[in-house]
Each structure stands twice: as structure tokens, then as C-alpha cells.
Chains A and B, each alone.
Chain A
């Protein structure tokens, strides 16, 4: 049953993604002002939205672990952080490429990119710390605390970046203009849905791996108990 869900989501997501790529790269007309590189927005922003969604899931799962002490929550948290971090990397990479083509620089300290970089650093710390703790209860608890701290930091990061940009008065290149013309909404939304489907499939796979590990652990437990 679970496998069927994973396959369905995965295949659906992949088809949607490929169809969307076809649309993005070959069908949609891009106005001359923004250039072809603008097409990358359909990967860049949906990746960020997907990553942020999964980070939110991770924080909720972390709180769930602290409250309920059930390791399923911990497994969900680490899976969501891993997949979220992957999408953040996609976002950072596409942002960098876009900046290079559009502005000639590999990295522009614009507000959104900086915010995503911060998220990446925060949750990278989470992923680095986990292997350093051998005991599962301790590992789950410390990870949960770290995830909550990271989430609490995000709104303050937004405040800080805004402050910094205002004070230093660096206009800086902005990668996205505020609004997206309605003609672009379909591929944009499709991109988000595709990423969410694929991401969820990946989380389920990772979750299953964690669950299997715990099953093996509990079998070992029973063996010790005899």
C-alpha cells in the first residue's frame, strides 16, 4: 500500500515535472526584456516554496517528537529536513546561475537569496549534528530543539536582512520582480505541485528507511531481552 503511494506520487510528480519543463523551456514566450534566463524562475521559486514547506513540516514533527516521544515524529523530522535541504540547494544553485547570467555575478546578496542561504546553514547544522549523537532518544531530542531554534530564527533573519538593506542602501540586484504576469501562473503553479509531489515521495522513501531501521532495532531489542 505504502509502496503504491510512493510510486504514484513519484511517477505523477516526474511526469508533471517533465511536462512542465517542456512548457517552460519550449513553449512559453518570454518577453525580450528579461531574456531566456528568466525561465529559470519556474524552478528557482517553486524549489524555495517546496523547501520552506518541508522545513515547516520538520518543525511540526520536531515539536511532535518532544511532546509525544514517538520516534515516528523524529523520523519524519529528519526526512523532511533532508529533502528540504536538497530543494534549498536547487534554489541556491538556480539563483546563482540566474545572477551570473543576468548580472554577471555568481552571488548577489539580495534579500531572498540571503534568507534561503541562512535556512540552508541552519538546517545543515542540524544534519551535521545528528551523526554525532549515538543514542536515539538524545539524538531526537537535541535535533528537535535545534529545529525549533532554527525556525524561531527565520522571522528574525527576515527582519535583519531588511534592516541591513535599508541601512547600507545597497540596492543590489533583485532576482524577481514583485508580481508574476498571469500568463506565467500555470507553469509556476505546476512547478510547485510537481516539486511537492516528488518531494513528498522522497520523504516517504526516507521515512520508510528510518522506520525499517527502527524495526531492526526493536528486533535486536527483543533478541537482547530473551
Chain B
């Protein structure tokens, strides 16, 4: 049993490395995601004429909106990249389903973190908001919420991989599920940027993460082997 776990984890990390490597070579979803994030940030700063206080009030909301959109783009590619040459079949035949899922979720997590950290300075710049002050707790919130986005996103990526209109269907299914997670992240982030966060609220993020990670790991077998 133990060796099965070890082998599975090794396979999961190998898959994560593979996803990151192939993504780095083409940079398709990184470019798309980052460009999208920057464009939204710019657009919003034109759309509303806000004073400093108002900007701080919407800061968390705006940031996580951008991150959610970027996340949807990244997870969309996750299982879709296995379709050419029928690579997904080879994976399923050789590696336990949970390991495939874990590896892809880890890769999405890291890719989304890259986009998030790249957009954070841009956000700080355009909206004149300093985020350095509360960096550590902010990193915790970002890590927890990003994992939530990627775990649900990767699961839905597997669900929709063979569904018609996948690019449309995945966001339609993903956003409603993510709403409670995003609410928590938004509240915490706004609080941290304003200096009045209630950190015990990370409870919400943790509950979401634990719930959906367990569900996804358990259900992925049903999703991949029909």
C-alpha cells in the first residue's frame, strides 16, 4: 500500500514537471492568462473613477476577479493538452487516476501562481495600492485560494475534456462553484490591504480546499475511466 502511494506520488510529480516543461516551451496559456489579467486590470482602472478610499475598498474584489479569470484560462488547458496523440489514454493505462489529477493540479497551481505574482506589481502600480506591508499573510491567502481554484478547475477540466464546447462549458461550471472561495479571498485580501483583516476567515478557504481536494481525488477515477 505504502509503495503504491510512493509510486503514485512520484508519477504525479513527473506529470507536474512534464506539464510545466511543455508549458514553458510554448508558453501558450501563460501568455494568454497574463495578457488577459493585465488587460482587465487596465480596463477596470479606466472604467471607474475612484478615489483612494474607494480603490482600497474594491481592491480585494478586483484582484480576485482577475485571478479567477486567469485561473479559468490555465485550467482549461490542463487536461486538454493530453488530447493530441491520445496521450491521455496512455496516462490512464499506466498511472493511477488520482496521481494524474494531483500532478496536473500541482502544475496548474504553480502556473497560476506565476501569473498572480506577475500581475501583483502591475495591480499595485495602476491602483497605487501597496501590498508589501502585509506580504506574508497575503501570500497565505493567495496560496490557499489559488489551490482552491486549481483543484476545482482541474477536476472540471477532466470532466469537460471530451465535452462539446469545452472552452465555454468549463467557465460556466467553474465560476459558480468558486464563488464562496472567491468571497473569502476577496474579503481577506481587502482586509489585508486596508490593514484590518480578520485572519480567522482563512477558515473558509481551508474548508473549501479540504472538501474539494478530497472530493476531486476520490471522484477522478469515475471521471477518467468511463
Contacts and interface: CB of A to CB of B under 8 A. Distances in A.
Q: Do chains A and B touch in the complex (CB under 8 A)?
A: yes
A156 B180 contact: yes
Contacts of A121: 176, 179
Contacts of A149: 152, 155, 177, 212, 215
A1 interface: no
B159 interface: yes
A146 B159 contact: yes
A161 B180 CA distance: 8
Nearest to B214: A152
Q: Which of B177, B215, B223, B226 has the most CB of A within 10 A?
A: B177
B101 interface: no
| 6 closest A-B pairs by CB | A160-B180, A121-B176, A160-B183, A156-B180, A132-B164, A125-B173
B165 A132 contact: yes
Interface string B185-226: 001000100000010010010011001100100010011001
A133 B180 CA distance: 28
A157 B222 contact: no
B223 A145 contact: yes
A52 B204 CA distance: 23
Contacts of B155: 145, 149
Contacts of B83: none
B219 A148 contact: yes
Interface in A160-187: 160-161, 163-164, 167-168
Interface in B37-95: none
Contacts of B179: 118, 121, 157, 160
A132 B204 contact: no
Contacts of A132: 163-165, 169
Contact of B198 (A129, A134, A138, A167): A167
Contact of B164 (A125, A133, A164): A133
B162 interface: yes
A129 B159 CA distance: 10
7 contacts: A141-B226, A145-B159, A149-B152, A150-B176, A152-B215, A157-B179, A163-B183
B172 interface: yes
B184 interface: yes
Interface of A: 66, 118, 121-122, 125, 128-129, 132-135, 137-138, 141-142, 144-146, 148-150, 152-153, 156-157, 159-161, 163-164, 167-168
A142 B204 contact: no
A157 B177 CA distance: 9
A153 B162 contact: no
Contacts of A128: 169, 172
Given A129-B163, A149-B155, A164-B187, A159 B207 contact: yes
B159 A125 contact: no
Given A132-B169, A145-B219, A160 B204 contact: yes
B223 A142 contact: yes
Give the residue among A129, A161, A164 with the most B Cβ atoms within 10 A.
A129
Nearest to B187: A167
Contacts of A144: 222
Contacts of A145: 155, 159, 219, 222-223
Nearest to A123: B176
A152 B222 contact: no
A156 B211 CA distance: 9
A118 B164 CA distance: 24
Contacts of B162: 133, 138
Contacts of B207: 156, 159
Interface in B151-169: 152, 155, 159-160, 162-165, 169
Given A156-B211, A157-B179, A141 B164 contact: no
Nearest to A154: B180
